[in-house]
Protein backbone atom coordinates (compact mmCIF):
# COMPACT_ATOMS: atom_id res chain seq x y z
CA UNK A 1 0.00 0.00 0.00
CA UNK A 2 1.38 3.33 -1.01
CA UNK A 3 1.91 5.80 1.80
CA UNK A 4 -0.19 9.00 1.55
CA UNK A 5 2.48 11.14 3.19
CA UNK A 6 5.27 10.43 0.69
CA UNK A 7 4.15 13.10 -1.83
CA UNK A 8 4.20 15.64 0.96
CA UNK A 9 7.72 14.59 1.91
CA UNK A 10 8.93 14.99 -1.65
CA UNK A 11 7.27 18.39 -1.95
CA UNK A 12 8.81 19.48 1.36
CA UNK A 13 12.27 18.47 0.14
CA UNK A 14 11.84 20.44 -3.07
CA UNK A 15 10.47 23.52 -1.35
CA UNK A 16 13.22 23.72 1.24
CA UNK A 17 16.12 22.95 -1.10
CA UNK A 18 15.29 24.55 -4.49
CA UNK A 19 18.94 25.14 -5.39
CA UNK A 20 19.67 21.40 -5.10
CA UNK A 21 16.85 20.09 -7.29
CA UNK A 22 19.24 18.92 -10.02
CA UNK A 23 20.94 16.58 -7.50
CA UNK A 24 17.81 15.51 -5.57
CA UNK A 25 16.57 11.93 -5.29
CA UNK A 26 13.04 10.62 -4.99
CA UNK A 27 12.25 9.78 -1.38
CA UNK A 28 10.00 6.95 -2.53
CA UNK A 29 12.27 4.92 -4.83
CA UNK A 30 15.66 6.50 -4.20
CA UNK A 31 16.30 7.22 -7.88
CA UNK A 32 17.82 10.60 -8.81
CA UNK A 33 15.63 13.34 -10.18
CA UNK A 34 18.10 14.28 -12.88
CA UNK A 35 16.11 16.82 -14.87
CA UNK A 36 12.80 18.62 -14.87
CA UNK A 37 10.02 16.75 -16.63
CA UNK A 38 8.57 19.95 -18.08
CA UNK A 39 9.90 23.47 -18.61
CA UNK A 40 7.75 26.34 -19.83
CA UNK A 41 8.40 30.05 -20.15
CA UNK A 42 6.87 30.61 -16.71
CA UNK A 43 7.68 27.49 -14.63
CA UNK A 44 9.50 24.16 -14.38
CA UNK A 45 7.99 20.79 -13.25
CA UNK A 46 10.03 18.25 -11.28
CA UNK A 47 8.94 14.57 -10.98
CA UNK A 48 10.57 11.21 -10.37
CA UNK A 49 11.76 9.74 -13.69
CA UNK A 50 11.67 6.07 -12.49
CA UNK A 51 8.74 4.34 -14.27
CA UNK A 52 8.64 1.73 -11.49
CA UNK A 53 8.42 4.33 -8.72
CA UNK A 54 5.64 3.48 -6.23
CA UNK A 55 4.48 7.10 -6.53
CA UNK A 56 3.35 6.51 -10.15
CA UNK A 57 4.69 9.91 -11.13
CA UNK A 58 2.47 11.72 -8.67
CA UNK A 59 5.40 13.19 -6.77
CA UNK A 60 5.70 16.39 -8.80
CA UNK A 61 5.84 20.08 -8.03
CA UNK A 62 5.87 23.23 -10.13
CA UNK A 63 8.14 26.20 -9.53
CA UNK A 64 7.87 29.62 -11.07
CA UNK A 65 11.23 30.54 -12.54
CA UNK A 66 13.23 32.44 -9.94
CA UNK A 67 16.61 34.10 -10.59
CA UNK A 68 19.56 32.98 -8.53
CA UNK A 69 20.39 36.61 -7.73
CA UNK A 70 18.00 38.90 -5.86
CA UNK A 71 18.04 41.38 -8.75
CA UNK A 72 18.85 40.72 -12.37
CA UNK A 73 21.02 43.46 -13.88
CA UNK A 74 19.56 45.35 -16.82
CA UNK A 75 20.19 43.68 -20.22
CA UNK A 76 21.73 40.57 -18.59
CA UNK A 77 20.51 37.02 -17.82
CA UNK A 78 20.92 34.70 -14.84
CA UNK A 79 19.94 31.01 -14.52
CA UNK A 80 16.82 29.84 -12.74
CA UNK A 81 17.53 29.05 -9.09
CA UNK A 82 15.80 25.64 -9.41
CA UNK A 83 18.39 24.32 -11.87
CA UNK A 84 16.10 23.84 -14.86
CA UNK A 85 18.53 25.65 -17.15
CA UNK A 86 16.20 28.51 -18.00
CA UNK A 87 17.93 31.89 -18.35
CA UNK A 88 15.98 34.75 -16.78
CA UNK A 89 16.46 38.10 -18.49
CA UNK A 90 16.61 41.40 -16.64
CA UNK A 91 14.74 44.53 -17.62
CA UNK A 92 15.83 46.77 -20.45
CA UNK A 93 17.46 50.04 -19.39
CA UNK A 94 15.00 52.86 -18.77
CA UNK A 95 16.69 56.23 -19.21
CA UNK A 96 14.08 58.72 -18.06
CA UNK A 97 15.42 60.51 -14.97
CA UNK A 98 18.08 63.20 -14.76
CA UNK A 99 20.03 63.19 -11.48
CA UNK A 100 21.96 66.19 -10.15
CA UNK A 101 25.75 65.81 -9.97
CA UNK A 102 25.91 68.58 -7.36
CA UNK A 103 28.24 70.73 -9.47
CA UNK A 104 25.80 72.58 -11.71
CA UNK A 105 25.37 69.60 -14.06
CA UNK A 106 23.16 66.50 -14.17
CA UNK A 107 23.40 62.98 -15.60
CA UNK A 108 20.88 60.75 -17.38
CA UNK A 109 20.76 57.52 -15.37
CA UNK A 110 18.79 54.28 -15.62
CA UNK A 111 15.65 54.29 -13.47
CA UNK A 112 15.61 50.55 -12.73
CA UNK A 113 16.47 49.45 -9.16
CA UNK A 114 20.10 48.47 -8.52
CA UNK A 115 21.20 49.80 -11.91
CA UNK A 116 23.66 52.69 -12.04
CA UNK A 117 24.16 52.75 -15.79
CA UNK A 118 24.59 56.33 -17.05
CA UNK A 119 23.73 57.29 -20.61
CA UNK A 120 24.89 60.94 -20.48
CA UNK A 121 27.49 61.92 -17.87
CA UNK A 122 27.23 65.72 -17.70
CA UNK A 123 24.72 68.24 -19.01
CA UNK A 124 24.62 71.82 -17.64
CA UNK A 125 21.66 72.61 -15.38
CA UNK A 126 19.27 75.27 -16.63
CA UNK A 127 16.11 77.19 -15.79
CA UNK A 128 14.79 78.29 -12.45
CA UNK A 129 15.27 81.65 -10.75
CA UNK A 130 17.86 82.45 -8.11
CA UNK A 131 16.93 84.71 -5.20
CA UNK A 132 18.81 86.26 -2.31
CA UNK A 133 17.91 83.24 -0.14
CA UNK A 134 18.53 80.34 -2.53
CA UNK A 135 20.19 79.50 -5.87
CA UNK A 136 18.17 78.56 -8.94
CA UNK A 137 16.59 75.09 -9.12
CA UNK A 138 17.16 73.22 -12.38
CA UNK A 139 13.89 72.56 -14.24
CA UNK A 140 15.26 69.24 -15.55
CA UNK A 141 16.84 67.48 -12.54
CA UNK A 142 15.36 69.54 -9.68
CA UNK A 143 18.78 70.21 -8.16
CA UNK A 144 20.01 73.63 -6.96
CA UNK A 145 22.82 75.20 -8.94
CA UNK A 146 24.69 78.47 -9.30
CA UNK A 147 24.89 81.34 -6.84
CA UNK A 148 22.28 83.31 -4.93
CA UNK A 149 21.10 86.55 -6.54
CA UNK A 150 21.76 89.28 -3.98
CA UNK A 151 20.04 91.86 -6.18
CA UNK A 152 16.63 90.37 -5.31
CA UNK A 153 16.45 91.52 -1.68
CA UNK A 154 13.00 92.70 -0.59
CA UNK A 155 13.96 95.38 1.88
CA UNK A 156 11.63 96.14 4.74
CA UNK A 157 10.99 99.47 6.42
CA UNK A 158 13.87 101.35 8.02
CA UNK A 159 13.92 101.15 11.82
CA UNK A 160 15.99 102.89 14.48
CA UNK A 161 19.22 101.01 15.25
CA UNK A 162 20.84 103.35 17.79
CA UNK A 163 23.99 105.51 17.67
CA UNK A 164 22.51 107.71 14.94
CA UNK A 165 21.98 104.74 12.63
CA UNK A 166 19.01 102.93 11.17
CA UNK A 167 18.70 99.52 9.56
CA UNK A 168 16.49 97.60 7.16
CA UNK A 169 16.14 93.82 6.90
CA UNK A 170 15.30 91.65 3.91
CA UNK A 171 11.73 90.31 4.08
CA UNK A 172 12.33 87.25 1.91
CA UNK A 173 11.96 83.98 3.84
CA UNK A 174 15.33 82.36 4.45
CA UNK A 175 17.32 85.57 3.98
CA UNK A 176 18.68 87.27 7.09
CA UNK A 177 20.53 90.12 5.38
CA UNK A 178 20.47 93.53 7.07
CA UNK A 179 21.80 96.88 5.95
CA UNK A 180 22.66 99.93 8.06
CA UNK A 181 22.95 103.59 7.20
CA UNK A 182 23.44 106.91 8.94
CA UNK A 183 20.22 108.66 9.88
CA UNK A 184 19.20 111.83 8.06
CA UNK A 185 19.01 114.54 10.73
CA UNK A 186 16.45 117.34 10.65
CA UNK A 187 16.53 119.86 13.48
CA UNK A 188 13.00 120.78 14.45
CA UNK A 189 11.85 123.50 16.84
CA UNK A 190 9.27 122.06 19.22
CA UNK A 191 6.34 124.01 20.64
CA UNK A 192 8.12 124.62 23.96
CA UNK A 193 10.97 126.44 22.23
CA UNK A 194 13.32 123.48 22.45
CA UNK A 195 14.69 121.72 19.37
CA UNK A 196 14.87 118.04 18.52
CA UNK A 197 16.49 116.08 15.74
CA UNK A 198 14.31 113.72 13.78
CA UNK A 199 15.08 111.27 10.96
CA UNK A 200 12.37 111.21 8.25
CA UNK A 201 13.54 107.77 7.07
CA UNK A 202 13.20 105.75 10.30
CA UNK A 203 11.36 108.28 12.47
CA UNK A 204 14.12 108.23 15.07
CA UNK A 205 14.24 111.06 17.62
CA UNK A 206 17.08 111.31 20.13
CA UNK A 207 15.85 110.24 23.55
CA UNK A 208 12.22 109.82 22.45
CA UNK A 209 10.04 107.11 20.88
CA UNK A 210 10.35 106.97 17.09
CA UNK A 211 7.63 108.35 14.86
CA UNK A 212 5.49 105.56 13.37
CA UNK A 213 4.96 105.15 9.65
CA UNK A 214 1.41 105.94 8.52
CA UNK A 215 0.03 103.27 6.20
CA UNK A 216 -2.17 104.37 3.31
CA UNK A 217 -0.64 107.83 2.75
CA UNK A 218 -0.86 108.90 -0.91
CA UNK A 219 0.30 111.78 -3.08
CA UNK A 220 -0.34 113.37 -6.48
CA UNK A 221 2.18 115.52 -8.31
CA UNK A 222 1.50 119.26 -8.61
CA UNK A 223 4.73 120.56 -10.10
CA UNK A 224 8.28 119.35 -10.71
CA UNK A 225 9.93 116.00 -11.33
CA UNK A 226 8.44 112.79 -9.99
CA UNK A 227 10.68 111.79 -7.05
CA UNK A 228 12.39 108.42 -6.85
CA UNK A 229 11.33 106.15 -4.04
CA UNK A 230 8.06 105.91 -2.14
CA UNK A 231 6.21 108.43 -0.04
CA UNK A 232 6.97 107.93 3.65
CA UNK A 233 4.79 109.71 6.21
CA UNK A 234 5.56 109.22 9.91
CA UNK A 235 3.57 110.52 12.84
CA UNK A 236 3.82 110.52 16.62
CA UNK A 237 3.92 112.58 19.80
CA UNK A 238 7.02 114.37 21.11
CA UNK A 239 8.03 114.37 24.77
CA UNK A 240 6.32 117.75 25.34
CA UNK A 241 3.01 116.36 24.04
CA UNK A 242 3.24 118.01 20.62
CA UNK A 243 1.99 115.93 17.73
CA UNK A 244 4.57 115.77 14.91
CA UNK A 245 4.62 114.40 11.37
CA UNK A 246 7.36 113.95 8.75
CA UNK A 247 6.76 113.78 4.99
CA UNK A 248 9.57 112.48 2.76
CA UNK A 249 10.43 110.16 -0.09
CA UNK A 250 12.48 107.08 0.75
CA UNK A 251 14.10 104.55 -1.58
CA UNK A 252 16.06 101.36 -0.89
CA UNK A 253 19.12 103.59 -0.53
CA UNK A 254 17.50 105.89 2.03
CA UNK A 255 16.35 109.51 1.93
CA UNK A 256 15.52 111.02 -1.49
CA UNK A 257 15.93 114.78 -1.85
CA UNK A 258 13.35 116.65 -3.95
CA UNK A 259 11.93 120.17 -4.30
CA UNK A 260 8.84 119.10 -6.26
CA UNK A 261 5.36 120.16 -5.19
CA UNK A 262 2.84 117.42 -4.44
CA UNK A 263 -0.52 117.06 -2.74
CA UNK A 264 -0.52 114.66 0.21
CA UNK A 265 -3.45 112.73 1.68
CA UNK A 266 -2.78 111.14 5.07
CA UNK A 267 -5.14 108.96 7.17
CA UNK A 268 -5.16 110.43 10.68
CA UNK A 269 -7.16 110.11 13.87
CA UNK A 270 -7.98 113.40 15.56
CA UNK A 271 -10.83 114.37 17.84
CA UNK A 272 -10.23 118.11 17.61
CA UNK A 273 -9.44 120.76 15.03
CA UNK A 274 -5.80 121.64 14.58
CA UNK A 275 -3.54 123.95 12.64
CA UNK A 276 -0.77 122.46 10.51
CA UNK A 277 2.61 124.12 10.99
CA UNK A 278 5.64 123.33 8.82
CA UNK A 279 8.73 123.67 11.03
CA UNK A 280 11.58 122.19 9.04
CA UNK A 281 13.97 121.46 7.77
CA UNK A 282 15.68 124.79 7.20
CA UNK A 283 12.60 126.95 7.10
CA UNK A 284 10.75 129.51 9.17
CA UNK A 285 7.70 127.91 10.85
CA UNK A 286 4.84 128.38 8.41
CA UNK A 287 1.18 127.55 8.77
CA UNK A 288 -0.05 125.30 5.94
CA UNK A 289 -3.55 125.36 4.52
CA UNK A 290 -5.18 121.96 4.77
CA UNK A 291 -8.46 120.09 4.95
CA UNK A 292 -9.39 117.36 7.38
CA UNK A 293 -12.49 115.32 6.65
CA UNK A 294 -13.57 111.73 7.31
CA UNK A 295 -10.21 110.94 8.88
CA UNK A 296 -8.16 112.20 5.91
CA UNK A 297 -5.71 115.10 6.14
CA UNK A 298 -4.97 116.74 2.77
CA UNK A 299 -2.44 119.50 2.07
CA UNK A 300 0.15 120.59 -0.49
CA UNK A 301 3.82 120.04 0.31
CA UNK A 302 6.86 121.63 -1.30
CA UNK A 303 9.59 119.02 -0.92
CA UNK A 304 10.06 117.00 2.27
CA UNK A 305 9.26 118.51 5.63
CA UNK A 306 8.41 118.22 9.30
CA UNK A 307 4.98 119.34 10.49
CA UNK A 308 3.42 119.98 13.86
CA UNK A 309 -0.30 119.44 14.45
CA UNK A 310 -1.18 122.10 17.03
CA UNK A 311 -4.63 122.31 18.65
CA UNK A 312 -6.52 125.40 17.60
CA UNK A 313 -7.01 127.96 20.35
The per-residue pLDDT for 68 is 59
Q: Does 163 share its domain with 260?
A: yes
Our measurement of the distance from residue 313's CA atom to the centroid of its chain's CA atoms, rounded to an integer in Å, reads 58
Closest listed residue to residue 14, CA positions, set 39, 53, 56, 46 = 46
Report the alpha-carbon distance of residue 176 to residue 308 in Å, rounded: 37
Domain assignment of residue 69, yes or no = yes
The per-residue pLDDT for 103 is 94
Instruction: Give CA separation, 75 vs 71, 72, 86, 94, 111, in Å.
Output: 12, 8, 16, 11, 13
Domain assignment of residue 173, yes or no = yes
Q: Does 122 share its domain with 102?
A: yes
Residue span of the structural domain in which 207 resides: 159-311
Q: Indicate the number of domains in the chain.
A: 3
Q: Does 83 share its domain with 100?
A: no
> Any residues with CB less than 8 A from the CB of 283 and at least 6 apart, and which?
305
Report the alpha-carbon distance of residue 241 to residue 208 in Å, rounded: 11
According to DSSP, residue 243 is labeled E
The predicted-structure confidence for 33-42, as pLDDT tens digits, reads as follows 666 777 777 7
Domain assignment of residue 1, yes or no = no
Q: Does 58 share its domain with 134?
A: no
Domain assignment of residue 248, yes or no = yes
The per-residue pLDDT for 6 is 40
The answer to whether 145 touches 136, Cβ cutoff 8 Å, is yes
Lowest-pLDDT choice from 4-18, 111-125, 221-235, 248-262: 4-18
- Percent of the chain with pLDDT strictly greater than 70: 81
Q: Does 196 share its domain with 140?
A: no
The predicted-structure confidence for 197-225, as pLDDT tens digits, reads as follows 899 999 998 878 899 999 999 999 999 88
pLDDT confidence of 12, banded at 50, 70, 90? very low
Q: Considering all CA atoms of the chain, what is the largest pairwise distance in Å, rounded to the nearest integer?
A: 131
Report the alpha-carbon distance of residue 299 to residue 211 in Å, rounded: 20
Domain assignment of residue 269, yes or no = yes
The predicted-structure confidence for 103-127, as pLDDT tens digits, reads as follows 999 999 988 877 888 888 889 999 9
Q: Does 109 share its domain with 136?
A: yes
pLDDT confidence of 5, banded at 50, 70, 90? very low
- CATH code assigned at 242: 2.60.40
Residue 185 has, within 13 A of its CA and on its CB side, a CA count of 9
Domain assignment of residue 63, yes or no = yes
pLDDT confidence of 3, banded at 50, 70, 90? very low
- Give the end of a domain, one of 89, 111, 141: 89
Q: Does 27 share its domain with 121?
A: no
Q: Does 242 share its domain with 123?
A: no
Q: Does 110 share its domain with 223?
A: no
pLDDT of 55 above 70: no
Q: Does 106 share its domain with 205?
A: no
- Give the end of a domain, one of 71, 89, 107: 89
Q: Does 183 share its domain with 298?
A: yes
Q: Does 78 share its domain with 129?
A: no
The answer to whether 22 touches 10, Cβ cutoff 8 Å, is no
Amino acid sequence: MKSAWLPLLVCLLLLTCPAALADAVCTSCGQPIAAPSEVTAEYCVWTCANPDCPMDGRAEIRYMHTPQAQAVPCDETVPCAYGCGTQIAGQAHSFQTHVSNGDGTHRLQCDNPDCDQVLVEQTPCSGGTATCSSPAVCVICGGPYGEKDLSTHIWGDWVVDGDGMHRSGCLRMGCWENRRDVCTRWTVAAADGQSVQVCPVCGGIDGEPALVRVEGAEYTMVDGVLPDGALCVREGTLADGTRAMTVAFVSESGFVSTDSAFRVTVPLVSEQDFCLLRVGPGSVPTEIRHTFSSGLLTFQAQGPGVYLLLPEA
